[in-house]
Structure 1
Amino acid sequence: MITLNNANLPAISVAKPDYDRAGLQGGIVHFGLGNFHRAHQAVYLDRLMNLGQGQDFAIIGAGVMPSDARMRDLLAGQDYLYTVVEQSAKASTVRVIGAMIDHLPAADAAAIIAKLADPAIRIASLTITEGGYFINAQTGHFDPAHPAIAADGANPLAPKTVFGMLVAGLKARRDAGIPPFTVMCCDNIPHNGHVTREAVVETARLSDPALADWIAANVAFPNGMVDRITPATSDRERAMIRDDFGIADDSPVFAEDFIQWVLEDNFPLGRPALEQVGVEFVEDVTPWEMMKIRILNGGHAVIAYPSGLMDIHFVHEGMENDLVRAFLDKVERDEIIPVVPPVPGTDLSAYFAKVAERCANPKIGDTIRRLCLDGSNRQPKFIIPTINDRLAQGLLVEGLALESALWCRYCAGVTDSGAVIEPNDPNWDRLTAAAQAARTDPQAWLGMAEIYGETGQNPVFAEAFTRWLDLLWQQGTKATLQHYLAA
């Protein structure tokens, strides 16, 4: 077994960097060095560097949350190298990724701001999860009154949030006469560049309105669509790297073999030539974004909650369940796909077939619990917009109402067998109380305006939701799915 680090790279027999890592220069500061970023953006950059290009766009990580310290320690001990294992249903391939060269600790905001002010940095990118953007679900906009943002507004020189740090870095560049970096969001949020722009501008406005106006006028925030299924890493994955490939890697990433990135080409200071390694640059990413968020992410929610209630552990096991698979097929084909606008060069039915194939991949080890995670942030982005579109067109929402009822039933905190569901949402306590109250009063759930907005008061949706929730409590998930599929 070989410990992963620069010195041992020559002895490692799997695919690895063909470029001289000592010659890399930081050009991107990235916030959120979780598995998705490391299996997506960093992989594309590594591929480009192997072509002898983009070596002045190496990644410098930046911590924000206290939990980021653990990732920094693991990666620093490996010279910021790590393995990515790509898994299809039939084969696994592994590669050592070398595109990252440093990781600044969350506790050192001054160091992060100084790096953002460095003229060599041309892009600041983010994967901070859907819930990290301080969006008020009732308004659909950034909430500058959130305590964490308000604190950065009051103390702009000592920010704690990613948006406060970006503002401070942009201010330093403006004051020094350095052109601003591009801010590139890589999270699964509709119009993610617009969302990030609002967050940065409105955070700046709290302390410096003139700076906010300068950012709004001068900083680019391209929208992008990103896609790759990337489960969490556990001791299981670390053992597989050791046993199957002979590498001691404390922070490997396992991912499916599918990968996609569609990005608006708006980078005033330049960008790596990622089109040479498969990134698709377009003028407007909206069609691809809506397709992915509604069909893939919405489909994940359709799989997740019935599987969770029936004590199914892995996503591929959910896809092997005839009821779950038929539920996914029916909701997608009858309700989701019909209201997804056309996408250039894409057959939506074929896209969904690929989504289903990916979810059924037994090699990934993706868990139902991960798909159930953070519904309070995901449902307003992945499910409720489709419900609203169908209601506006006078179309039925039976399957989506059942999905919402399944989420409510899941948040009650026990599966159909009586097994306890451990907290799985930042707002778990509130959701559990509302879900238990909804057993006799559905408006206790539908009245959560920060999640449902006005949708929960729509009589068509509310009636369907109530009917399905009653059936779930009376007969359980299996019988309810059978009833829906027979209708």
Structure 2
Amino acid sequence: MAIRLTDAALRQLPAGVSAPGYDRAALTPGILHFGVGNFHRAHQAAYLDALFAKGLGQDFAIVGAGVMPGDARAREVLGAQDWLTTLVEQEAGRSDARIIGSMIDYLPVADVAAITARLADPAIRIVSLTVTEGGYFLDARDRFDPGHPAIVADAASPDAPKTVFGLILKGLRARRDAGHAPFTVMCCDNIPHNGEVTRGTLTGLARLSDPAYADWIAANVAFPNGMVDRITPATSDRERQICRDEWGIEDGWPVFCEGFTQWVLEDDFPAGRPPLEEVGVQFVPDVVPFEIMKLRILNAGHAVIAYPAGLLDVHFVHEAMEHPLVSAFLEKVEREEIIPGVPPVPDTDTSDYFALIQRRFANPKIGDTVRRLCLDGSNRQPKFVVPAIRDALARGGSVAGLALESALWCRYCHGTTESGAETAPNDPNWDKLQARARAAKEAPREWLSLSDVYGDLKDDETFASAFEAALTALWRDGTEATLRAYIG
């Protein structure tokens, strides 16, 4: 019979499940984290858990925070199990389960007073974020958007903020006024130059109401860039059942992930940091080469397999990799159009890195879904795929495969798969995307007028004509025949 996950249960865990290797009661808070989701718990929280087990950095335990409606449910579930998480790492030949105990509190969701008080506490030396690619209020050129309604509202009422960034501003102001040093703001989202982007959003919001305060932040607050990587699917009843039946743990929100993990960070933490290099984090002077490699080869690669697989009614990512046309499409686009534009990375062979990515995508245990990869294309395409298109065009290379990927995304957003099954909305801008995709069926270039995605690429005849030909072929010949023709 499964045991319910709590602190008390740590003394009687089933065989094969590892408990935290430290006294949780001895931990003290040092990090406040916004966005306590699956990726955070499989990544940052897991690294800290491993560090604490070495007897190091135990004054950097995590306090969770959130502002979104879904955060309240997360807090309720995690609170019932004393902020513990069952982390299950799965590879083709093995599975391992351990209990993560590095989070010791989760503040009431959207409680401005409670969150501000904790941010103002000098014990908090790092504020970290995983609020998704769409949570940074950026425009089509990935610059801060001062006209976003949430930003306008926070700028008008800085003492009653509703956004994560408004809360951070309020907390930093309280620290400054109390004479405490500012905390470091550490972005853990998949965004190019994520530290710089975070700085731009925070100072941009501050500047709308207090330009002098914005200047103080720019001069005094550190925003290290970082690259994070670990494939971590959403939790469903499938994962809860596996956790219960195979590991004997009743966990309301377990996290399943691959064994591979990577974290590359710039070492810019004036207020101090845990010694994460002791558990495999790479501290480097420049994250950009690692970041570009990952965003192009892995994240753009996810998009390359996602939309043809979605149109072909493939459910799991490893099943997409088993489909000969989908896997061959990935191979050709990566080798001919994406990897040639990836700059050199220290001590890394990009061809070997791609081979690693292929193995990770093909992991049959991870249970990652094609639908998850298709999610939020309106935010992911301009960050992961469009830069690869621009690079290929700039060096005079082919964009036929990347144009086909864009056409597959357009065809997916039309709302039906090749079998005629309806595709449930899968993007914050689904209605707009679907309307544009339906118009593009007869006039393909209508899709490229999504200026917040493609910018001026609609005016590049090389790309626009390749896209038009690809979308026309998809509607005329179908997904499989179009893939076959591209692969040759």
TM-score band by shorter chain is over 0.9
The aligned counterpart of 1:151 is 153
The 10-residue stretch of structure 1 (219-228 or 394-403) with the greater mean CA deviation from structure 2? 394-403
1:445 pairs with one of 444, 447, 456: 447
Secondary structure in 1 matching 2:214:
helix
Paired residue type of 1:60: V
- Is the 1:447–1:457 Cα contact (8 Å) retained in structure 2? no
Does 1:120 pair with 2:127? no
Deviations 1:25-67 (A, max 9, x none): 1100000001000000000000000000111000000011011
Deviations 1:164-220 (A, max 9, x none): 011111111111110000000000000000000000001111121111110000000
DSSP-derived class of the 2:62 partner = strand
Instruction: Map 1:333-412; keep pairs closer than 5 Å.
Output: 333-412=335-414
SS of match in other structure, 1:200 = helix
Instruction: Determine whether 1:276 maps to 2:278.
Output: yes
Match of 2:134 among 108, 131, 135: 131
Query: Residue in 2 aligned with 1:73?
Result: 76
Q: Which residue does the alignment assign to 1:256?
A: 258
Per-residue deviation, 1:94: 0.2
Identify the residue that residue 466 of structure 2 maps to in structure 1: 464
Contact 1:402 1:465 in 2 (8 A): yes
2:36 is the alignment partner of 1:33: yes
Q: Does the CA-based 8 Å contact 1:304-1:369 persist in structure 2?
A: yes
Aligned-partner SS, 1:180? coil
Superposed, 1:19-418 pairs within 5 Å as: 19-137=22-140, 139-418=141-420
How far apart in 2 are the matches of 1:457 and 1:316? 37
Q: CA deviation at 1:483?
A: 0.5
Structure 2 partner of 1:2? 3
Take 1:267 and 1:465, find their aligned partners in 2: how far apart are those partners?
A: 45
**1:424 equivalenced with 2:422 (yes/no):** no
Q: How far apart in 1 are the matches of 2:480 and 2:21?
A: 52
Q: Tell me by how many angstroms 1:105 deviates.
A: 2.1
- Do residues 12 (structure 1) and 13 (structure 2) align? yes
User: Aligned partner of 2:303: which letter?
Assistant: A
Q: Deviations over 1:112-150 (max 9, x none)?
A: 01100000000000000001111101x320101111011
**Which AA in structure 2 matches 1:342?**
P
SS at match of 2:59: coil
Report how far residue 440 of structure 1 moved: 1.3
Q: After TM superposition, what 4+ stretches of structure 1 lie above 2 angstroms from structure 2? A: none
Q: CA deviation at 1:107?
A: 2.9
Residue 456 (structure 2) aligns with? 454
Q: Using the alignment, how far apart are the partners of 2:211 and 2:171 within structure 1?
A: 16
Contact 2:31 2:60 in 1 (8 A): yes
For 1:272, the aligned partner's letter is P
RMSD: 0.7
Q: Percent of pairs identical after alignment?
A: 67
Answer yes or no: is the 8 Å Cα contact 2:444–2:472 preserved in 1: no
Q: Give 1:109 shift.
A: 1.4
Give 5+ residue unaligned stretches, structure 2: none
Contact 2:32 2:64 in 1 (8 A): yes
CA contact (8 A) 1:68 1:105 kept: no
Distance 1:165 1:10 in 2: 38
TM-score by length of 1: 0.99
Rounded to whole Å, the distance in 1 between the matches of 2:201 and 2:421 is: 40
Q: What SS is found at the alignment partner of 2:69?
A: coil
CA distance in 2 between partners of 1:143 and 1:382 (Å): 19
Moved more, 199-208 or 298-307: 199-208
Is the contact between residue 110 and residue 158 of structure 1 (CA under 8 Å) also seen in structure 2? no
Deviation at 1:401, TM superposition (A): 0.4
What CA distance in whole angstroms lies between the structure 2 residues aligned with 1:168 and 1:145?
20
SS in 2 for 1:106: coil
SS at match of 2:478: helix
In structure 2, distance between residues paired with 1:70 and 1:9: 23
Indicate if the aligned counterparts of 1:290 and 1:340 stay in contact, CA closer than 8 A: yes
| Aligned partner letter, 2:73 | R
Equivalent residue letter for 2:339 = I
Paired residues in the alignment total 485
CA distance in 2, matches of 1:106, 1:144: 25
DSSP-derived class of the 1:474 partner: helix
CA distance in structure 2 between the aligned counterparts of 1:141 and 1:387, rounded to whole angstroms: 19
> Secondary structure at the residue paired with 1:383?
helix
